A and B are shown apart, each in its own frame.
Chain A
Amino acid sequence: EAQVTQNPRYLITVTGKKLTVTCSQNMNHEYMSWYRQDPGLGLRQIYYSMNVEVTDKGDVPEGYKVSRKEKRNFPLILESPSPNQTSLYFCASSRGARGYGYTFGSGTRLTVV
């Protein structure tokens, strides 16, 4: 089944403790992206990647890092999480930038206390 898999689905952590949210897609998509969803703000793009080793900042990149060493994986790294990063995170992939919609993962609900 074609899908984007995020792990974990739920995570509670403490301020300052580094964490990684993994994202993997099995559709050989070149394009991947991370979003966060917050009440009243919709989905906001954190980072995107157009291919292996090619990443760029989205709308709200502060406090996040990403890497794209392989085509299928696009982990999101929070080096020093803070409470304002408590949010619902979505990873997404697409065959290309235009003409194709994203396939989204099921989401990771992160709480930073």
Chain B
Amino acid sequence: DQQVKQNSPSLSVQEGRISILNCDYTNSMFDYFLWYKKYPAEGPTFLISISSIKDKNEDGRFTVFLNKSAKHLSLHIVPSQPGDSAVYFCAASETGNQFYFGTGTSLTVIP
């Protein structure tokens, strides 16, 4: 049973606009969340993380929002660039050792 879900398999956004990628989780004990980006034929690359004591974390163009009551997190990319076109995975952990990943959202940024 998937404990971390990314319900949108794909997303297309115009260059310069905001990309919003969403992730839902079912385990209320998760307290550490991460986002990864993956290009074809490469391993995932760590983007940004957030712990449950925060509701927002920002790193340059990337911001992650956490809504614990809704068990929902989102990744905002502003402004979106063509190089951001990739598959994005969210991941969650309770212990910090065992991580659960979503199925990924393929983002296409249109020039």
Contacts and interface: CB of A to CB of B under 8 A. Distances in A.
A45 B43 contact: no
A43 B44 contact: yes
A44 B98 CA distance: 10
Given A41-B103, A42-B102, A97 B34 contact: no
Contacts of A90: 43-44
A1 interface: no
Interface residues of B, number: 28
B89 A102 contact: no
Interface residues of A, number: 28
Contacts of A99: 49, 51
A48 interface: yes
Contacts of B34: 101
A98 B45 CA distance: 16
Contacts of B65: none
Given A42-B102, A42-B104, A99-B49, A48 B43 contact: no
Contact of B43 (A31, A97, A105): A105
A55 B36 CA distance: 24
Nearest to B4: A42
A104 B46 CA distance: 9
A106 B43 contact: yes
Contacts of A45: 98-101
B100 A59 contact: yes
14 contacts: A4-B43, A33-B99, A40-B103, A42-B101, A43-B44, A45-B101, A56-B98, A97-B93, A99-B51, A101-B46, A101-B49, A104-B44, A106-B43, A107-B41
Interface of B: 2, 4, 6, 32, 34, 36, 41-47, 49, 51, 89, 91, 93, 95-104
